[in-house]
Structure 1
Amino acid sequence: MSRFPTAWRECVGTGRMELALRRDYQDSLALIQREIGFRHLRGHGLFSDGMGIHRPYVLGGERRVRHAFTYLDQVVDAYLELGIRPFLELGFMPSGLASGDQTVFWWGGNVTPPASHTEWADLIGATLRHLIARYGIDEVRGWPIEVWNEPNLPQFWQDADADAYHHLYEVSANAVKDVDAALQVGGPAISPGDDKWLETFAAFVSRHDVPIDFVSRHAYTSGPARHVPFGVHQSLAPASALLEQFALPRKQLAGTPLGGLPVHITEFNSSYRPDNPVHDTAFHAAYLAPVLAGGGDLCDSFAYWTFSDMFEEEGVPTALFHGGFGLLTHRQIKKPIFHLYAFLARLAPEFVSRGPDHLVTADDSGRVTILAWAPVDHTDAANSPATHHVLLSVPAPGPAVFLLRSSVDDERGNAWSAWREMGRPLAPSPRQVDMLREAAEPARVHRNVPVVDGRAEIEIVLARHEVTLLELTPVVDETPPWWDDSRLVSGDEQ
């Protein structure tokens, strides 16, 4: 058997890096790492003013720059203590180095080119040398370094100027390699929509022999936003469109000097909006299940955007459930999409089989795990099938297996549904938060399944939008020969 790809856990997204200084963020990340265990974390704002790294000053009439790492050290220390490493994104532009005042997001990330590319290179070099001195060269060599975020959109890079981005990438990549040739640098972290950008970028770095160790892009499937107060509604393409986007870089770069490079999808989700209620639903977990099951065949990593609702690009959220990107809400309430990832984390490592509605894995102890999901109607969730049947025959040792099933759907393991039934409280009381946490736990059932001729026959009936994990472990019967369950409340001799 082959290993099931773990590209789904290589990286996850986060709000801007300085949010890691907050308690709710760290509590959420600790929970994520305990139950899922991602390997890298990527977010914006490494060089934005909130991190306080770039600090220009004037002394004796001369402009100078001090590089300060007070917050960066606290952020990275917190990451490493929780068993996750940075996936560094070089951006946005610190105001003291920016050539203009265009910003993005409520918190004001500057998206203009540097006034001095030399000073920008110095900033990158000083930051990396500090990280190496603090954490060691072998550690930092394992942190991918991505140049900017979505430069093909004018919101994220002034005028979406490809030539200006190519120059920024060249300066940045050379600055990284000047620190250590083994550090990993790449890009262009493009948004879906203008897919020629990657080809143009590849031609530039190949023609000018610019260092590149990986290529990156993002993937989303939502249409234009229809705004309502504090939220949006959007149409969705089928989830298969995400897999098509995952596959596109390798397809575009085949036969080019970049053709063999790792491909990282450094953001993906259904909607690109942090205020779309679809993110909170069981529909969303079932919609993305086939993507997580199959994405590892197409790329080296694909980072869910994001692990937590601690996220402020459109301002401070106004309600506990507000359509945020997170696997968790504030205060660590698990969404159905959290459970999809947690189920994946419990899968056995060896691939057995996969279908359009299930994935089967096993290990050498005889343990078999099955992830199954109900099909969805991406145009109208109410039209998704009310039930869906999956029939499987799986290899199993011994005379019987113990089956433990964990499920989430529109009702079970669904705190969003419970929150709606509570009346959508904007600021739930402590008791209501506790109730929502309880409602968020998956439903669990168990039974003994006979094994015939080395196989267990499993029938799975899925509810609407259900995602379920079945864990089958060999039964070793150690019941004493004198025990009789029929006499639990009887003292009579038989």
Structure 2
Amino acid sequence: MSNIRQSTNENSNLPVMIFLNKVKKISSNIQKNVEFLFVLKGELEVIINNQKYKLSESDVILINNGDVFEIYGEEENLILLMEIDNDFFNDVVKREQSLFLCNSSINDNEHYDDIRSILAKVMYEYSNREYGYDYKIMSLLYDLIYLLNVHFVIADDYKMQSLDIKNSKYTDRINKIVSYIKQNYYQQISLQDVADSQYLTPEYLSKFFKIHMGMTFSKYLNEFRLAQAVKELIRTDISVTKIAMNNGFPNLVAFNKIFKEVYDTTPAEYRSQVRKKQIKTNASEKVESEVTKVDYNQAVEKLTRYVEDEKDEKKIVDYKEINNINVEADIYTSKPIAHTWRNLINLGYAQDGLRSDLQQHLTDIQNKIKFKYARFQGIFSDEMLSYGDENINEVNYNFTKIDKLIDFLYSINLKPFIELGNKAKVLNLVSDKVMYFRNSSEKQKTLKEALDLLEKFMFHCINRYGINEVSQWYFEIWKEGDNDYVFWSGHFENYLNTFQNYYNMIKEIVPEAKIGGPGFNPEVNMKQFNEFLKQVKKTSTKLDFLSISIYPYELIEDSKAEKLSKRNNIGSKAYKNDEGEYLNHLLPSKDRNYSKLKLDKIRKMVKEAEVNIPEIHVTEYNSSISHRHPANDTTFKAAFIAKNILDNLDETDSFGYWFCSDVSGELKDSKNLLYGDMGLISANGINKPGFYAYEMLGKLGNDLVQKGDGYIITKKSLYNFEIITYNYKHFDYFYCLSEETPVTLEQYYNIYENQENLNFSILLKGVKKGRYRIKKYVLNREHGSIFDEWLNMNAIFNIKKDEIDYLKQICIPKQTVFYVESIEELRLESCLSPHEVNFYEITFEYS
């Protein structure tokens, strides 16, 4: 099954892949590795080499290398699937073409619980990714193979019964008898031969074997030979007669007779059936499958019961540890920083920017953080643009509403960063489901009409704001997806033609204005980016800046999969890539450094393409594309913002958070105090943790002393220092295996990689001797988290104004002030819980 799910395997150094899925169907396929299926919930029907098995909750089954299998599941099931690389497995097992009977649905074995525990622990280690997890997984794999070798190894068909030795004192004799059979089964051996080898009489051996093995000697020998023959039948082209001889059958007739008793068909017919399936599978190398996302909380609950530590009775989800980091920084080693992240904030959709509540929220943000540009889209939407008499030859436009928006921005010291085009307003519930969609305009314009509108708008702006001001504006021309809203096809002629016309029009009127695009999405359009750069170079298209939107996802492709949901007001769509294959879905990225790695790759591609693009702007970024995700309301978002801004500090010309206020995402479902939208401020005007993260970032100095994973040290002078520390926790591996499945509010903090605290010991060297005043801001679940305070109020639905006022007062970071004496060095300790962010303002006290 690896060709279904190989793209979800993150670490190629490990010889194992593991998945959590709801399985409806996996069509006929040949197992190329060794695979375990572990039923956590529901039932499965598994067909292996034409034999059917019914698996219920807690059942576990092993599919051997070379087996032909099919899987059918009920609608409600939860399956853990783990594949072990066959080469690695054989190297460890040191048995050629071994078969193992590990199928709890047909036999009992006290060691099945050990198998279940190991599978759950491997899944747990994958999900938490703690230091040294790969060694732990390898240790568990060796334990698993040991169990298989000792307790589950057979050379038999799946109908073979496991050994049930009732008296341990006969174990050695049974092992010697079975060993003799395995070493000599391909010869014409008899009961007498085996009895002689063990110095027993044939009569005693026959009775002994029946009592301790649960079957007659001849039945065991025939089924053992049959199992070996079936392997040759499936895996080789040797003639049926030769296979019968190779495996100890006296003649073809005897082989056919025993084979038909077990498989209800002849060996030749069986091989023919298997080969048809093999040909079909190998021809496409694609396995038709119906595999859907899992419920995260349900998965954790089901897995936890199998990995409880019997010694201290602690469950895996309660595991905590403290990570200590020592930092030494010389204050005389520094470099200037521009804080280019402060160049851009998104207000969202232009029509929302006219709302008084959103304007108040943006004013509050600007008072604390002081961004330079505000980006908005839909400037020429039907809500923003009034038309004159369309019956006359020349259409007159009324830009009054646009003026009001731009006037407001200037009143709070923000300049316009305008996204042009006919971009719709889209709100996503999850990555593959839109809950709101509305085109910006019902009036479809030709390119000539669009250019006419743009020309009139540019002249209007120059007359109103002056050429010097408009020369400082940015204009982004977003490329709409070809197959769907954001997915590119790889053909850019129309876009580049439109871009060039827009570019020429604006530059002719305002030569100094900045024009760029195309709103590149690394998670869905990376394949086409090189082609885009080639065509930009070929057509000599000039871009003043490259615009990028970063949402951390991984694209999972499957040619047989279609979109699971319909787009509201768009109809049923199926995403396709440049080869015309269907795109299955987007999964949350397992890479905690996603934005840094993607931006590094993009810069490298631009350089290698030898295309001159003076500026790179991240015009949108967030942790999820979902406008209804609890992460947007919690302290996770504060640590996420701190990490992404500091990881990419001054690496791009802007880093624009999407977006400023929950007001832009209000719909009829937005009745609760919080509803998981992306704003820095809630619709009721309460600052969310993301707001405070930006406020702390805004307090940093303009000289960088040192930064690393989890911290930054800046200075404003040799007497003033600023430090931010944060404890970022990425989504865990369980969660990243599913398509942002919903979780309850109470369980929300369980979807992260671990619950480790993080301790920083920071030593500033070279500081002036004396007394320092230190003001510390603490942002965590107890201080500054609207989400947690709302939970403390039982997440009430009908919240009142006085309660909102109360939350505004208490949902702030904790402030403490203390003093530290320094003799050429100053030491600080910062202990952070998961998702916590601390800010230190250090000032020399003159005396």
Above 0.5 in TM-score? yes
2:344 and 2:374 in contact (8 A); partners too: yes
2:382 and 2:442 in contact (8 A); partners too: no
Q: Partner of 1:362 in structure 2?
A: 715
State the alpha-carbon separation in 1 of the partners of residues 721 and 480 from structure 2.
41
Q: Partner of 1:206 in structure 2?
A: 537
2:719 and 2:843 in contact (8 A); partners too: yes
State the alpha-carbon separation in 1 of the partners of residues 801 and 667 from structure 2.
26
Gaps of 5+ in 2: 1-333, 425-433, 556-562, 566-585, 733-749
Mapping for residues 4-403 of structure 1, pairs under 5 Å = 4-53=337-386, 55=388, 57-59=390-392, 62=393, 64-92=394-422, 106=436, 108-110=438-440, 115-148=445-478, 150-151=480-481, 154-155=484-485, 162-192=492-522, 193-222=524-553, 235-312=588-665, 317-364=670-717, 366-379=719-732, 380-381=750-751, 383-395=753-765, 396-403=767-774
State the alpha-carbon separation in 2 of the partners of residues 324 and 441 from structure 1.
19
State the alpha-carbon separation in 2 of the partners of residues 10 and 402 from structure 1.
31
What's the CA shift string for 1:249-282, capped at 9, x where partnerless? 3111104453452000110000011111111111
SS in 2 for 1:50: coil
SS in 2 for 1:332: coil
1:12 and 1:41 in contact (8 A); partners too: yes
Q: Partner of 2:568 in structure 1?
A: none
State the alpha-carbon separation in 1 of the partners of residues 488 and 716 from structure 2.
51
Paired letter, 1:342? E
2:790 and 2:796 in contact (8 A); partners too: yes
What's the CA shift string for 1:235-262, capped at 9, x where partnerless? 4533310122233331111044534520
Q: Percent identity?
A: 24
State the alpha-carbon separation in 2 of the partners of residues 360 and 203 from structure 1.
41
1:353 and 1:360 in contact (8 A); partners too: yes
1:239 and 1:291 in contact (8 A); partners too: no
Shift of 1:234: 7.3
Distance 1:150 1:4, change over 3 A: farther
Shift of 1:130: 1.1
Q: Partner of 1:464 in structure 2?
A: 834
What's the CA shift string for 1:130-162, capped at 9, x where partnerless? 111111111111111100255467225898963
State the alpha-carbon separation in 2 of the partners of residues 468 and 307 from structure 1.
22
Paired letter, 1:447? F
Shift of 1:460: 1.0
Pick the aligned partner of 1:429 from 800, 804, 807.
800
2:543 and 2:613 in contact (8 A); partners too: no
Higher-Rg structure is: 2
Shift of 1:202: 2.7
1:267 and 1:305 in contact (8 A); partners too: yes
SS in 2 for 1:303: strand
Pick the aligned partner of 2:843 from 447, 465, 473.
473
1:360 and 1:370 in contact (8 A); partners too: yes
Q: Structure 1 length as normaliser, TM-score? A: 0.86
Paired letter, 1:468? N
State the alpha-carbon separation in 2 of the partners of residues 398 and 272 from structure 1.
50
Q: Partner of 1:442 in structure 2?
A: 813
State the alpha-carbon separation in 2 of the partners of residues 155 and 352 from structure 1.
43
Shift of 1:222: 4.3
Paired letter, 2:542? P
SS in 2 for 1:311: helix
Shift of 1:462: 1.1
Paired letter, 1:144? Y
Structure holding more helix per residue: 2
Paired letter, 2:492? A
| Greater Cα offset, 240-249 or 41-50 | 240-249
Shift of 1:457: 0.8
Aligned CA RMSD, in angstroms, stands at: 2.7
Gaps of 5+ in 1: 95-103, 228-232, 478-494
Q: Structure 2 length as normaliser, TM-score? A: 0.51
Distance 1:50 1:378, change over 3 A: same
State the alpha-carbon separation in 2 of the partners of residues 331 and 339 from structure 1.
16
